[in-house]
Amino acid sequence: MTTQIVLVPGFWLGEWAWSDVTHLLSTKGYAVSALTLPGQGADDPNRAVVGPQDQADAIIAALDPAASRRVLVAHSGAAIPATLVLDQRPDLVDHAVWVDTAPVADGSAMDADLEGDALLLDAVWDAELEGGSMRDLTDEQLATFRERAVPAPGMVVRQPVRLTDEARHAVPGTVVCTAFPSSDYMTYAQQGVPFLRALPDYPDLRYVDLPTGHWPMWSRPGDLAEVIAEAADGT
C-alpha cells in the first residue's frame, strides 16, 4: 500500500518549484507527484480562460483513489483549487498541508479587483521583496524564480470560490507558518482577516512554525519535507 503526496504550487509556479522537496520525499519511499496546474505552464495557450475549477479538476485527477493515504500539499494561491478539492472530494484527501496559506472561505477571491487576463510577477516583485516575502532566498534562486515565473491566470485570481459541503472542514490538516508565526495566524483568523478567516471552521489543524519567507520549498526544503513526511505518516 502506497502513501501518495501531491504537491501543488502557487501563483507563477510549475512543478519545477518543488524539485528539491520532491527528491527528498521520494527518497523516503513516498509516491510523490508535483503538479503544473492548468494555466501555469510556460506556454499554456488556455491561460486566459482557466478558472479555479479547472485547476481543482487537475488536482482531483492526480489523487490516486487506490493509495492507502493521500496528502495534498498546497502553497500560497494553490489554496484556491485545493479548497475546492476538499469541498468536492473530501474522500480523496486524508491530510492537507497548507504552506504559508490556508483553506479559503466560501465567496473568497485572491484579488477580485484584478484587471486583465493574468497577474504578472513583475507587477508585484518590488512589493514582495520589500515586504520580506523573498527572505532567505539566494541571488541565484531569485534569478531563477523571475526567469521561470509565468503569469497567474486572471480568472483564478479574481473569481470567487463557491463551496457547498461542510464535510471539507473534517479533513485534518497542517498549517506551515513561515512568513509570520502561528500565533499571528490564529489571531488574524479570529479577527477575520480575509485569507485566514476559514481557519476556525477546521477543528483538526496542527500549526507548525517554520520561520523563513514565503517560499520554503527553496529556502528550507529539508525542513519542509520533514513536516510533509510527518503528515504523510500521520504523526
**Tens of pLDDT, residues 48-63:** 999 999 999 999 999 9
Predicted pLDDT of residue 211: 97
In whole numbers, what is the pLDDT of the chain averaged over residues?
Answer: 96
Residue spans of beta strands (DSSP E) within 94-138: 95-99, 118-119
pLDDT tens string 192-204? 999 899 999 999 9
Q: Mean pLDDT, to the nearest integer, of 117-142? A: 94
- pLDDT average, residue stretch 167-176: 98
pLDDT over threshold 80, residue 226: yes
Q: Please tell me the distance from the alpha carbon of residue 7 to that of residue 169, in angstroms, as a whole number.
A: 20
Domain count, the chain: 1
Q: What is the 3-state secondary structure (H, E, C) of 142-185?
A: HHHHHHHCCCEEHHHHHCCCCCCCHHHHHCCEEEEECCCCHHHH
**Res. 190 pLDDT band, cuts 50 70 90:** very high
The angle that helices 19-26 and 221-233 make with each other, rounded to 10 degrees, is 50
- Report residue 186's pLDDT band, with 50, 70 and 90 as the boundaries: very high
Q: Can you tell me the mean pLDDT for 167-173?
A: 98
d(CA 11, CA 170): 26
Quick one: cell of 113?
479587483
What is the distance between the alpha carbons of residues 13 and 2, in angstroms, rounded to a whole number? 27
- DSSP H helices, 5-49, are 19-26
In order of 53, 69, 73, 228, the CA distances from 234 in angstroms are 29, 9, 14, 10
Grid cell, residue 41, equals 505552464
Average pLDDT over residues 114-120: 91
Spell out the residues 6+ positions from residue 99 whose beta carbon is closer than 8 angstroms to its own. Answer: 73, 74, 75, 76, 176, 178, 216, 217, 224
Q: Which SS3 state, helix, strand or coil, does residue 216 take?
A: helix
Domain extent at residue 68: 3-233
- For residue 1, is pLDDT > 80? no
pLDDT digits (tens, 9 = 90+) for 202-213: 999 999 999 999
Q: What is the pLDDT of residues 25-47, one digit of tens each?
A: 999 999 999 999 999 999 899 99
Which CATH number is 112's domain given? 3.40.50.1820
pLDDT for 235 equals: 77
Mean pLDDT of 13-35: 97
Residue whose grid cell is 509556479: 13
pTM over 0.85: yes
Percent of the chain with pLDDT over 90: 96
The tens digit of pLDDT for each residue in 138-160 reads: 999 999 999 999 999 999 999 99
